[in-house]
Chain A
Amino acid sequence: NSKVIQTPRYLVKGQGQKAKMRCIPEKGHPVVFWYQQNKNNEFKFLINFQNQEVLQQIDMTEKRFSAECPSNSPCSLEIQSSEAGDSALYLCASSRGHQDTQYFGPGTRLLVL
């Protein structure tokens, strides 16, 4: 179904530590998204890119989260100083563009102790 690759699958960090996860979008998909899914099944959009440019990001992402999608390298999402509330499944998706199917990777499950 989806060819989006996410690593690592599981990540365990202590509070205050950095947490970094990576995503390789499907070939030919210039748009990349990051979403956070919490244990209550609530999805939160974090940031998206078209090629290397940020299209939109939420406030939380601007403050403690950093993300990039360099050319010829995996996209990444990094939490600078992890908090317990960041424990969640982080999902990366890619798409050909506007009003097109988004294909999701298997996610990185982050646990902040």
Chain B
Amino acid sequence: GDKVKQSPSALSLQEGTNSALRCNFSIAATTVQWFLQNPRGSLMNLFYLVPGTKENGRLKSAFDSKESYSTLHIRDAQLEDSGTYFCAAEAGNSGGSNYKLTFGKGTLLTVTP
């Protein structure tokens, strides 16, 4: 099965509304990154998280390593928030993860007027 399960796979929001994206991990995630990919393919960093919470403007993200999940909350959605959101986890283990990220399959967010 998927090591990083992202939900929902697609989401449509009206401008000004709020929503949350989620990632569940079946690997021992030690850190999580959230990205927004634009249609050209560029991955923009949103958050880097160790267990805990971060906030940046209208975005807020949390990572709970014990319960193996992470969330990304979008408040007051704007048209420019549209794109594909990915979470990715670095897993720690006794042999070392060699730093690689394991990605979810993304949430395609469409914000409409």
Interface residues of A (CB under 8 A from B): 1-2, 31, 33, 35, 37, 40-43, 45, 48, 55-56, 89, 91, 93, 95, 97-104, 106-107, 109
Contacts and interface: CB of A to CB of B under 8 A. Distances in A.
Contacts, number: 68
B40 to A, nearest CB: 7
Contact of A56 (B35, B88, B90, B100): B100
B69 interface: no
Given A41-B105, A103-B45, A104-B35, A98 B40 contact: no
A43 B103 contact: yes
B68 to A, nearest CB: 17
Interface string B72-107: 000000000000101010101000101111110110
A33 B41 CA distance: 17
B104 to A, nearest CB: 9
